[in-house]
RNA sequence: GGUCCCGUGGUGAAGUUGGAGUUCACGCCGGCCUGUCAAGCCGGAGGUCGCGGGUUCGAGUCCCGUCGGGACCGCCA
């Protein structure tokens, strides 16, 4: 890098970036380097070459004959000048100027690319983009996404430093633990038959950093989980991982909030308002999910009381009856679509779905005849539904009712990521235990077994474990779970009681978690922490529906890297050095 | 493990009731062209219709299987 009078992007080969040239540069002799985005020839003595680098595009006017074609890498030295009257292009940032009197050097010729290296590639099969990711990355959208990602990382790091957090790196080769996500294993050459695991998160190490007196730790950590991939899930992903000592929930939320809001400000130029909080119970009750999208209404309305005396069998005796109103949807939803909604509801666990089209003076519905006039009136009052609206009702136990309607609410009403305001929300007071393990009959941990129970509920651990709230919290943005955390248990007696509720004996706890819990006996401070996904935050801030768009080299849903063709089989000699023999493929 | 959608020159699409690898746009190659900016005009090349099997006189089209990609469920303490 050459520091000259032209600024920090100048090098020995160039003075300016293509996208930076403006009317203020008129008269300057410049050198620009980049790829040929497009060429427009007008005979032997005039050609326009749009030169592209990551900053943008500049039109260069060539009046000698040079053979430059799409994606050739060239260097142009010329003079910046105003475009002639009537030939400016206001669709381009550099459209008022051009580079003339050009000397063109071809630095590298190029084959025609398999797809247009511009916004037209947005419509190209993702296969093709991923096979030629280096070409895809040349595009403005991808360069912008990489830079959004870098801004997020940088702002987060800066915010953590500002708050006195210490960056500590934790190992990538860690012991395999039976709990949690499936791990990637790494064979040990020195101990054939033994394996390391790649970390699904630095969880245990960061808590031991607290035992180690670090006080405030953070890391932009790579995490690896061998679970099925989704639009918001890759095998490898990045988290802002943090942990702090001598804190309560408020301290953690404040520190994490500062990092997230700083990142948002760095990308969007405006700091979002303070993050609101709702309890897990309220989130389920109002939105039917533990990661509510607050950008739109259609909240669940409890209508259990409306039907307390009902004779309609599908509703009678249900623990919870709830409704959502789809505004003005009565005419849009035909029988076919309503059947599909019903199928969707059933696939989530509902026994059925009741739909009512609100019409003047009543309902249009296959079950209208089972709803009494007073129930109808009360239903309309409770839901505020008016003629033309579609009302969807589920009756079941509370949890199922909420979950089914919450899923339908998202399916029907959720706007695309790039639309609407950014609505951050803390979901707090998650239940300590979720559901019951079929095999053991014991409750299952909601977060992880070291999560601290809510102080008011500690005495319910033995008598009514499923109603115990925890000091665990999620951060949610527009319906995406960004991350989660908790205040941990640091005292042995409380930990013993939680293990007992989970059906884990002292011996089993020692065996499974001894290496982690024994250190606590040497003095563990009260502590808690959080981790949130940087890929997800970046995707939302970049307006992308899919985290692959903000990852330079992502993998497909089946875990393949189409550019490098990995994973690949390896030579048998390499396997044998590692003490590994593969099984034949079975059908 | 499951459900659904997609696969046609380099790219994106169309392809009807099963009737000739047919069509369109972009790109590519050649020619013309001195103010374009998705330049324009003329000409040309380019195909294992993902792959395999079946039905049929005949399959891009129908059926079965398989591979690849995607969305979702399960899974992700």
Q: At residue A123, does pLDDT exceed 80? A: yes
Q: At residue A485, does pLDDT exceed 70? A: yes
Mean pLDDT of chain A: 93
Number of H helices, E strands in chain A: 14, 22
- Using C1' positions and the CA of A348, the closest nucleotide is B73
In angstroms, the CA of A347 and the C1' of B3 are apart by 10
> How far are the Cα atoms of A225, A445, A472, A536 from residue A180, in angstroms, in the given order?
9, 10, 17, 21
- Using C1' positions and the CA of A181, the closest nucleotide is B76
pLDDT in tens, A8-40: 899 999 999 999 999 999 999 999 999 999 999
Compute the average pLDDT of residues A386-412. Answer: 93
CB A266 within 8 A of CB A347: no
Bond before A567 cis per omega within 30 degrees: yes
Confidence tier at A1 by pLDDT (50, 70, 90):
very low
Output the pLDDT for position A64: 78
pLDDT in tens, A264-311: 999 999 999 999 999 999 999 999 999 999 999 999 999 999 999 998
Compute the average pLDDT of residues A478-505. Answer: 95
Q: At residue A587, does pLDDT exceed 70? A: no
CB A61 within 8 A of CB A6: no
In angstroms, the CA of A77 and the C1' of B34 are apart by 21
Distance CA(A48)–CA(A60), nearest Å, equals: 6
Q: At residue A468, does pLDDT exceed 90? A: yes
pLDDT in tens, A155-184: 999 999 999 999 999 999 999 987 789 999
Residue nearest to nucleotide B68 (CA to C1'): A127
DSSP SS3 for A223: strand
Distance CA(A430)–CA(A568), nearest Å, equals: 42
Output the pLDDT for position A578: 94
Distance CA(A201)–CA(A533), nearest Å, equals: 11
Output the pLDDT for position A343: 82
Confidence tier at A420 by pLDDT (50, 70, 90):
confident
Q: Which residue has the tokens 């005796």?
A: A317
Compute the average pLDDT of residues A49-70. Answer: 92
Lowest mean pLDDT among A6-10, A377-381, A452-456, A502-506: A6-10
Compute the average pLDDT of residues A229-244. Answer: 97
Residues 6+ apart with CB under 8 A from A111: A71
Distance CA(A587)–CA(A580), nearest Å, equals: 21
Strand partners, A97: A82
Q: At residue A5, does pLDDT exceed 70? A: no
Output the pLDDT for position A334: 82
Instruction: List protein-proximal bases of chain B (any atom < 7 A from a CB).
Output: 1, 10-13, 26-29, 32-40, 68-77
- Using C1' positions and the CA of A556, the closest nucleotide is B69
Compute the average pLDDT of residues A208-219. Answer: 98
Closest CA to A208 of A529, A517, A471: A517
In angstroms, the CA of A219 and the C1' of B35 are apart by 55
DSSP SS3 for A520: helix
Q: At residue A506, does pLDDT exceed 50? A: yes
> How far are the Cα atoms of A196, A412, A519, A524, A574 from residue A499, in angstroms, in the given order?
26, 41, 17, 18, 42
In angstroms, the CA of A578 and the C1' of B67 are apart by 31
Closest CA to A478 of A531, A431, A545: A545
Confidence tier at A4 by pLDDT (50, 70, 90):
low
Output the pLDDT for position A419: 87
- Using C1' positions and the CA of A113, the closest nucleotide is B10
Confidence tier at A138 by pLDDT (50, 70, 90):
very high
- Using C1' positions and the CA of A130, the closest nucleotide is B69
Compute the average pLDDT of residues A140-144. Answer: 96
In angstroms, the CA of A128 and the C1' of B60 are apart by 22
CA A140 to mean position of chain CA atoms: 22
ipTM score: 0.93
Q: At residue A562, does pLDDT exceed 80? A: yes
Q: At residue A223, does pLDDT exceed 80? A: yes
In angstroms, the CA of A315 and the C1' of B9 are apart by 60
């Amino acid at each position: 890098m050459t520091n000259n009078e032209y600024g920090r992007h100048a090098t020995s080969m160039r003075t300016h970036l293509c996208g930076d040239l403006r009317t203020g540069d008129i008269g300057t002799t410049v050198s620009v380097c980049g790829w040929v985005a497009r060429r427009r020839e007008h005979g032997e003595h005039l050609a326009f070459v749009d030169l592209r680098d990551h900053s943008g595009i500049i039109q260069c006017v060539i009046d000698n004959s040079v053979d430059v074609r799409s994606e050739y890498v060239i260097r142009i030295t010329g003079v910046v000048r105003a475009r002639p009257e009537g030939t400016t292009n206001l669709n381009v940032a550099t459209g008022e100027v051009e580079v003339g009197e050009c000397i063109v050097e071809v630095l590298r010729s190029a084959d025609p690319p398999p797809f247009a290296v511009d916004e037209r590639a947005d419509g190209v099969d993702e296969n093709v983009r991923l096979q030629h990711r280096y070409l895809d990355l040349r595009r403005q959208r991808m360069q912008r996404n990489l830079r959004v990602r870098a801004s997020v990382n940088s702002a987060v790091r800066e915010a953590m430093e500002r708050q006195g957090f210490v960056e500590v790196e934790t190992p990538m080769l860690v012991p395999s633990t039976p709990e949690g996500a499936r791990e990637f294993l790494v064979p040990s050459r020195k101990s054939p038959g033994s394996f390391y695991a790649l970390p699904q998160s630095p969880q245990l190490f960061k808590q031991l950093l607290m035992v180690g007196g670090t006080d405030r730790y953070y890391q932009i950590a790579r995490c690896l989980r061998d679970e099925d991939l989704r639009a918001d899930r890759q095998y490898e992903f990045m988290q802002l991982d943090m942990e702090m000592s001598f804190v309560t929930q408020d301290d953690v939320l404040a520190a994490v909030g500062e990092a997230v809001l700083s990142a948002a400000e760095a990308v969007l130029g405006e700091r979002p308002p303070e993050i609101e909080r709702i309890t897990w119970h309220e989130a389920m009750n109002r939105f039917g999910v533990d990661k509510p999208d607050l950008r739109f209404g259609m909240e669940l309305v409890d209508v259990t009381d409306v039907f307390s005396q009902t004779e309609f069998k599908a509703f009678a005796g249900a623990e919870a009856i709830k409704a959502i109103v789809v505004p003005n949807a009565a005419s849009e939803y035909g029988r076919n679509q309503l059947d599909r909604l019903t199928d969707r509801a059933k696939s989530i666990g509902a026994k059925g779905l009741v739909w009512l089209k609100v019409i003047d003076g009543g309902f249009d519905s296959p079950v209208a005849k089972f709803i009494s006039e007073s129930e109808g009136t009360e239903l309309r009052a409770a839901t505020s539904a008016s003629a033309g609206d579609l009302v969807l009702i589920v009756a079941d136990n509370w949890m199922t009712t909420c979950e089914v309607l919450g899923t339908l609410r998202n399916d029907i009403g959720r706007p695309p990521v790039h639309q609407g305001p950014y609505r951050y929300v803390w979901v707090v007071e998650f239940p300590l235990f979720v559901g019951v393990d079929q095999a053991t009959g014991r409750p299952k941990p909601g977060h992880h077994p070291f999560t601290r129970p809510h102080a008011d509920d500690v005495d319910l651990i033995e008598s009514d474990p499923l109603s115990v709230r925890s000091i665990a919290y999620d951060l949610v943005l527009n319906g995406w779970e960004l991350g989660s955390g908790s205040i941990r248990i640091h005292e042995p007696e409380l930990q013993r009681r939680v293990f007992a509720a989970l059906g884990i004996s002292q011996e089993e706890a020692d065996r499974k978690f001894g290496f982690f819990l024994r250190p606590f006996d040497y003095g563990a401070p009260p502590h808690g922490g959080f981790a949130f996904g940087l890929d997800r935050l970046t995707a939302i801030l970049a307006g992308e529906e899919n985290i692959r768009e903000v990852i330079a080299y992502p993998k497909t849903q089946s875990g393949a890297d189409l550019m490098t063709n990995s994973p690949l089989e390896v030579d048998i000699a390499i396997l044998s050095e590692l003490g590994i023999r593969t099984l034949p493929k079975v059908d």
